[in-house]
Each structure stands twice: as structure tokens, then as C-alpha cells.
Amino acid sequence: MPNKLFALALAAAAGISLARADEVKPDAPPAPANEATKKTTVDINDVRQFAAVFALVKQAYVEPVDDKTLLQSAVKGLLANLDPHSEYLDEKAMTELSEDTTGSYNGLGIEVLTVEGVLRVVAPIDDSPAERGGIKAGDTIVRIDGKPITSENASEASNLLRGKAGTQVTLGVVHEGASAPVDIKLTREPIRVASVRTRWIEPGYVYLRIAQFQEDTGGEVKRKLAKLRDKSQPVKGLVLDLRSNPGGLLTSAVEVSDDFLDSGLIVTTKGRLKQSDLAFNATRGDLIDGAPIVVLADNGTASAAEIVAGALKDNHRALIMGRRTFGKGSVQTVLPLDETHAIKLTTARYYTPSGVSIQAAGIQPDIELGDLKLVARDTPPSYITGERDLPNHLKGDSERDGAAEKPLSQRGNTEDYALSEAMNVLKGLALQRKPAPAAAEKKG
């Protein structure tokens, strides 16, 4: 196919408006062009240049490459250069996307982004091979099975993290703050992301962990909180743990936010297309009847998790504790091309109820915490802290009944400094809270 005809065919397929130099009369005055026309018009020479590169690669590349492969590579490159989240989805990628939203696949359990030719870890999934192997949010993967990751192969390299259960892979990982990579050998396994976990931290105080926002996350939150409340006393306070939560579905984030709000704006989205401009508002009913909430967040709290954190913070429903969040303030839409191919395209930015975009900025916590760890003491202190430390002291009622307060290391918060601090704040908020006159309407 001649270059000119080939270029025109490509342009037509892509819906590009061409300024055809060979169809403009030399003595004709230039046609008026508004700003929109200037931005969307591509000169025929630009398309010819693409066609020339296409032809040169096809003719001179060291190994033969078919037209279909070259065109798909061109499409992938077009999307990859827009932003880190827009991409071309072939049949395999479509399957992986479906697995992510349902929470079931074979792999390492790790969320990554391609950044400057390397794979940056957004967050490992709870109780996955990646987390057990010591991979953390902010780490960088520079090698897979000894093969360096470059800007040319980074997108394909991320696919190597998944594979048949039982197979091994060695990752070269640079931990945040380190200067050299370490090799971490991991075994792929079936990953079933437990989206929601709940437990009592101590009487009256609930721990709610959301690992990822999947299709049924909102329903899981309702069911698991209802199950807890059927067996115990009313909730005095709740710790919502969104640390290392890489995000997921916007609709699930809206539903979870609504679970703890009686009213108010949750999130708005704004894009170039009219259908991208949306606003989501809370409906009446709070699952914990207004009990105080502390949200734990860190650098791995991203996307949909940031929507929840922002909604609860801006509506003065929760305090955010921890570290600045990841800062992914954009919305991606899957646009099908045919039954097995699609593009995932960034179509909007989202804004917290106060009208702020957190894109690249993240959400600053109300109370900032260092990345510290609690260490249980093996031996009691050598100094006296009270009557109970004196030899042969008279036993108190609580000691005789075995009801003395347990040390922190025996209350389920071992080594979790952030959770320990969250509980201290939550108890203070619970003490300040005025009893509600009546229970709010429950959401179904």
C-alpha cells in the first residue's frame, strides 16, 4: 500500500482530521481555524512520517514483524504515553481486569504501576506471597528472574507477575530508601483477595480492614458489621484500615462511604465528556449510628481508597491518621473495541466533597504518624510504676477476678504502632461523644 494511501487509511480509522496540503489551492486564502480545530487537526506530513516509520520497521528490523503486531504496538504506545493508567487491553488483559474486580487470580498478590521504566509497587495484597515475602508499598521492582526491566519492556514485564499456581519467580526489589536491589524468591498461588475483614479490638471498638474495592465490597461491609453487632454490644468506635489499599471500583468506594454517612456529597467526577460529570451523594442511615471513626492511611492508600478517606474527612465523619496517601485522583473507563479487546482510558478527575483534586498530591492525614513498630518487652520494667509493682502487695479486686487490664502486646495490636495510636484517639473521641437520642435508620 502506498504511503499516502496507508496514512489516509490509518487516519480514517482513528478519526483524525487531516489538513491535506495537496487539496489546498496555492492562491486560496487560508481557511479560518478556531482553537478546537488547531488542537485536533493533524498535518498530513505527521501521518506520512508514521507510515514511513512503520514501513522501515517492517522492512529493516532484524526479525520479521507482521502488520497486526506493529499496529497493536503503535496503539499500546499511544495510550502508554498519555498517563500511567491508560492502556490497551487484549484478551489476556481483559481477563486479568475481570479477575481484579472479582478478586480471584493466580499470581503474587501485588499491585504495580509502570513508572519511568520500572515497576513501582502501589501495595501488596494482604496475606499474599508478595506481602509474606516482605514487599511493601513504595518498593521498586527492577528485575524479574534476572532480566532487567526497562522502559521498553515494563508493560509486558508486569504480566510476568501472574502465572500458574506453584511456579516460582525471583524479583529484584529495591526497598524504599535503599540504594541496591535484593532478590526475593516468591511462589505464585491462587489469590483470593479477602476484600473485608472485621473483628473486635476490645469491647465496643471495631477493626474494619478493606484490602481492595471489589464488586461486592459494600455488601461485605454491611454483612460483616451486622454479624459483629448481633453478637456484642453497640459500637463505641471504629478503626477503618485502608493502608496499602490500591483502590478498585469507584462505585464500591461510594457505597462504603455511604455506609457511614447520613447525608452530604461523597465525590464528584469531571471530564471532557458530559457523561463523565457525575456527583454522588450519601443517603440516610449510618451503620454504626454516628460512633467515631479513625481511618488509617499510608503511601499505598490509592484511588478508590482515597475517595473513601476524602469523603469521610471532608464530611467531618472521621479523622485520618498515618501518612500522605498515594495521590491517584483520576477515573478510568473501559471502552470496548470488540468482544475481546478494549482500551482503559482516563476519562475524568475526581474531587473530594470540598472540591479538591488529590491528583499527585494525595490526602494529608489529620494526625501524621511515623513508620514505627511496637516491640513487646520480654521482662517487666525494673522501676516501680504503681502499687502492683511492689513485692507482696495486697491484691486488688481486678487482680483476684483475673480482670486486670492486659498489656498492649496481648490485645491484638502487637507491633502495629498506627493501630495502637488510632485506638488512643478513638477512645478520646468516644468519651467526648454525646449519646444519640435515637438510633438512625439502618441502610439495607
The predicted pLDDT at position 435 comes to 61
3-state secondary structure the chain: CCHHHHHHHHHHHHCCEEECHHHCCCCCCCCCCCHHHHHHEEEHHHHHHHHHHHHHHHHHCCCCCCHHHHHHHHHHHHHHCCCCCCEEECHHHHHHHHHHHHCEEEECCEEEEEECCEEEEEEECCCCHHHHCCCCCCCEEEEECCEECCCCCHHHHHHCCCCCCCCEEEEEEECCCCCCCEEEEEECEEEECCCEEEEEEECCEEEEEECCECCCHHHHHHHHHHHHHHHCCCCCEEEEECCCCCCECHHHHHHHHHHCCCCCEEEEEECCCHHHCEEEECCCCCCCCCCCEEEEECCCCCCHHHHHHHHHHHCCCEEEEECCCCCCCEEEEEEECCCCCEEEEEEEEEECCCCCECCCCCCCCCEECCCCCCCCCCCCCCCCCCHHHCCCCCCCHHHHHCCCCCCHHHCCCCCCHHHHHHHHHHHHHHHHCCCCCCCCCCCC
The predicted pLDDT at position 384 comes to 58
Tell me if residue 145 is catalytic: no
AA letter at 279: A
Beta partners for 187? 168
**Yes or no: domain 196-368 corresponds to CATH 3.90.226.10:** yes
- 330 close to 307: Cβ distance less than 8 angstroms: no
The predicted pLDDT at position 399 comes to 64
Which CATH architecture does the domain made up of 104-192 adopt? Roll (2.30)
pLDDT digits (tens, 9 = 90+) for 48-103: 999 999 999 999 999 999 999 999 999 999 999 999 999 999 988 888 788 777 77
The predicted pLDDT at position 201 comes to 93
Tell me if residue 303 is catalytic: yes
pLDDT digits (tens, 9 = 90+) for 352-395: 999 999 999 999 999 999 877 665 555 555 555 577 767 777 87
Q: Please, what sign has the CA dihedral across residues 372, 374, 379, 384?
A: positive
Task: Count CA atoms closer than 13 A to 154's CA, side-chain side.
Answer: 21
The residue from 314, 330, 344, 443 that is catalytic is 314
Predicted structure pTM score = 0.70
The predicted pLDDT at position 374 comes to 61
pLDDT digits (tens, 9 = 90+) for 201-220: 999 999 999 999 999 999 99
User: 111, 360, 118: which is closest to 247 by C-alpha?
Assistant: 111
- 173 close to 135: Cβ distance less than 8 angstroms: yes
Structure-block grid coordinates of residue 211: 484490602
Return d(Cα 141, Cα 121) in angstroms, integer. 7
Residue ranges in the chain whose pLDDT is less than 50: 1-31, 36-37, 403-412, 438-440
The residue from 328, 344, 416, 443 that is catalytic is 328
The residue from 298, 303, 313, 330 that is catalytic is 303
The predicted pLDDT at position 40 comes to 61
What are the domain boundaries of the chain?
3-65, 104-192, 196-368
